[in-house]
Structure 1
């Protein structure tokens, strides 16, 4: 096995007696921390075996452990053998009860960082230490202790190797290369030329971005509902539409499905016309004609120039004497699914109205916004309870709903420190109450940019943007 192992990649593994270790692959460090030395050893060998499996051949590893320094060879199957005399210090036979801990190890020499190693899952064959073995009977945990003693001593491989089929060989690297850190102090060091791995928080953010950036087959409809006014429905519609449109690039429309007159048009940009959902319904035959091009929809929706989604406003006639019917919801939805991949629907406060119930019929993902006020939370609970009691599709939507809890939308003045603390505590109480009953609960911090006027994603504070990204990812997981 040793004759197949090359000096590339450069791998150095460190095992310490304090439950920590490190594997450095071509200059990229992989710190390890576990409950005991045996667990550190297993994790180190897993990382090395993954690299060998990815390369399809054994790899050489220089080691530093409590016994000294050595050189081992690890195969893609997890077999470990000594490649050379493994120790520079005399080998211990038993670990004395009062043996001093080694608190420092030689530093690994970093290799060039231009060739990071990708990983592919592969089994590691190691032998765990018995759980109840007396301390004085334990052998020291070292890299040498993982060597498969049943294997014959490494010998030179025959000059003639088994010929493999070209169909079984590929030079393509299937595992993606992990991009270096871009945020925080790790990102600063990356810009200075030190390749740093991203933090756990940055990896979570990358995963949320990947989730909201996906495209799915067929259109999807999101309904934002709460039977209580002032529950943050309209800001939720705007923010979900903005994030999904920005990251996925999918044609997205926010539709104000209030039975009479909604407020979505007040919180968003107006285009060069005054058309609403009623005008779209009146022109539905033309819009559904095969000869009509996609650009014609711009006559009826209002484009958001910064956030890249469109708004279909509710009827805003002065008399306000028209209520949208179930049939009109069907017509408008048929038109919009021809021109858009994603529809995010605002709603009124009456779960009994025909247009509300027909909206639920078309919904793929339910979102229930609530502010950190008890009557808004109670209204949200009753909304979910109503849907659950109806059974079938409605009950399934309720069970898989995403609840978005905003800390506050104080419209009169900026909140004091004590008020913000109370709002955070109340938001956590409400979030904990909903968590057992729905698929996901996301909290949104207070942000004055959401209180009054047109809502813009770029106007939000970074923490608020991050929270809404998490909320949009939770929604997109339901697609």
Structure 2
């Protein structure tokens, strides 16, 4: 709009999560999308964009914007003239009933206003809730006595120290647009969930943690899962993440990741184990043997797929040696495994793991292999059963034409076999020769973040 006199159609006053537009009132967590849906519907009914003057009672921000029937918001500049009611802040008359939902990105808002169900999460987002509450424990006699009242003055006194934390305003979607325009808008439930997932994967645990990526069938996404999870934890939690190709039969982790300024592999690292475990070794010394991922910030320890297994025959002792070095210099170690569940390297990696991730694609044979592995580990008892109980299963949509309902059905089949199941949408970037996490679609990155959060809960 030109920088001239502007006629205001509606006045919006925001006070936290309480919004008024004339006689219309919107409250609660959905106040902002409800209000924008209301304005979108008004614009759709008139066939032209409406101009809104918004005032935030908390910050004092005074903003002009326009919104059309498709929900498109644009900033408006110019001097404000008196509106039809005679004053910029005089209440507007009640508007007519809301017309049918407009097409566009705010159609969900209009449906919500009519009482229809609306999903808060983006399409394709995994059904994972890292904030899932544990059932309340039964009240014990000791707890009842504790509820009787404080026994000392210290217990009776309220501490002067508080841990109040102001929530950051919304940054995503419609709420983010409004926040950037000066309104104090709280994040949506979907954005709050994503923030919590980010907090979980950003943690640093006391002592190193090892995660083994396992499935006895090939071609089910083990290497893809290793790369994606390593990227999530390194991007959000910082350095100290190693992806290790623990496969002596054509392991391809090195082929799917960025190569450093050398071609070193596990074969070059093994003769240096004693020196690296010595007191004079430094973390920078590992740069001779691992390949740093400059965009995703983790390191890769390659196998040598060009060499036959008979020429690089490793055993449990080899795994112990490499793991001792990895645990000394890295806080998180992701082990990409082979397909032979009887291989001493495979078994020792499981024994060393703090958690396992079992990937599968949306294919019956791959899913059955994953289920049999979990059942087999549980039957062995002890540490193996514990790993199976808290395992995370990742079900990836490997074909674009695979129905989402089929993927969801397959994921539900792991209920009772693992602690969490996460689905990953189809993304051609996951099939690239070199997987670049930053090149994945936003919904795919969000799904892998949710998968990382599920893993983090078990560490």
What's the TM-score, normalizing by structure 1? Answer: 0.64
Which region of structure 1 is more displaced relative to structure 2, 274-283 or 355-364? 274-283
CA displacement 1:273-297 (0-9 Å, x = unmatched): 1211122111101111101111001
* C-alpha distance in 2 between matches for 1:110 and 1:429: 46
1:208 and 2:197 aligned: yes
Q: Secondary structure at the match of 1:216?
A: coil
CA displacement 1:104-154 (0-9 Å, x = unmatched): xxxxx963238xxxxxxxxxxxxxxxxxxxxxxxxxxxxxxxxxxxxxxxx
Show the counterpart of 2:328. Answer: 338
Aligned to 1:427, which of 407, 410, 420?
Answer: 407
* C-alpha distance in 1 between matches for 2:250 and 2:194: 37
* C-alpha distance in 1 between matches for 2:18 and 2:423: 32
Show the counterpart of 2:442. Answer: 462
State the structure with bigger RCO (CA 8 A, min sep 6), 1 or 2: 2
Q: Is the CA contact 2:371–2:417 (under 8 Å) kept in the aligned structure 1?
A: no
Q: Is the CA contact 1:259–1:353 (under 8 Å) kept in the aligned structure 2?
A: no
Q: Is the CA contact 1:28–1:113 (under 8 Å) kept in the aligned structure 2?
A: no
1:293 and 2:282 aligned: yes
* C-alpha distance in 1 between matches for 2:408 and 2:437: 24
Aligned to 2:365, which of 375, 386, 389?
Answer: 375
Question: Following superposition of structure 1 onto structure 2, how do residues 98-177 of structure 1 map, counting pairs within 5 Å?
Answer: 111-113=57-59, 173-177=162-166
Show the counterpart of 1:69. Answer: none
Question: Following superposition of structure 1 onto structure 2, how do residues 429-448 of structure 1 map, counting pairs within 5 Å?
Answer: 429-448=409-428
Aligned to 2:16, which of 17, 24, 28?
Answer: 28
User: Shift of residue 314 of structure 1?
Assistant: 1.1
* C-alpha distance in 1 between matches for 2:56 and 2:183: 11
Q: Secondary structure at the match of 2:17?
A: strand
Q: Secondary structure at the match of 2:387?
A: helix
Show the counterpart of 1:304. Answer: 293
1:254 and 2:246 aligned: no
User: Shift of residue 28 of structure 1?
Assistant: 1.2
Alpha carbon RMSD of aligned pairs, Å? Answer: 2.5
Q: Is the CA contact 1:399–1:439 (under 8 Å) kept in the aligned structure 2?
A: yes
What's the TM-score, normalizing by structure 2? Answer: 0.66
Structure of larger gyration radius: 1
User: Shift of residue 171 of structure 1?
Assistant: 6.5
* C-alpha distance in 1 between matches for 2:204 and 2:451: 17
* C-alpha distance in 1 between matches for 2:431 and 2:307: 26
Show the counterpart of 1:152. Answer: none
Show the counterpart of 2:102. Answer: none
Q: Secondary structure at the match of 1:435?
A: coil
* C-alpha distance in 2 between matches for 1:171 and 1:30: 30
Equivalenced residues, count: 321
Q: Is the CA contact 1:276–1:316 (under 8 Å) kept in the aligned structure 2?
A: no
Question: Following superposition of structure 1 onto structure 2, how do residues 204-283 of structure 1 map, counting pairs within 5 Å?
Answer: 204-283=193-272
* C-alpha distance in 2 between matches for 1:350 and 1:394: 16
Q: Secondary structure at the match of 1:264?
A: coil
Q: Where does the alignment leave 5 or more consecutive residues of structure 1 unmatched?
A: 1-23, 32-42, 44-108, 115-163
User: Shift of residue 173 of structure 1?
Assistant: 4.8
Q: Secondary structure at the match of 2:223?
A: helix
Show the counterpart of 1:195. Answer: 184
Q: Secondary structure at the match of 1:472?
A: helix
- Give the ranges of 4+ consecutive aligned residues of structure 1 lying more than 3 Å apart after TM superposition: 167-173, 316-320
Q: Is the CA contact 2:374–2:417 (under 8 Å) kept in the aligned structure 1?
A: no
* C-alpha distance in 2 between matches for 1:201 and 1:212: 17
* C-alpha distance in 1 between matches for 2:334 and 2:229: 8
1:452 and 2:432 aligned: yes
Aligned to 2:390, which of 376, 400, 404?
Answer: 400
CA displacement 1:64-117 (0-9 Å, x = unmatched): xxxxxxxxxxxxxxxxxxxxxxxxxxxxxxxxxxxxxxxxxxxxx963238xxx
User: Shift of residue 170 of structure 1?
Assistant: 7.0
Q: Is the CA contact 1:255–1:343 (under 8 Å) kept in the aligned structure 2?
A: yes
Show the counterpart of 2:378. Answer: 388
Which region of structure 1 is more displaced relative to structure 2, 468-477 or 277-286? 277-286
1:477 and 2:423 aligned: no
Q: Is the CA contact 1:284–1:332 (under 8 Å) kept in the aligned structure 2?
A: yes
* C-alpha distance in 2 between matches for 1:341 and 1:429: 36
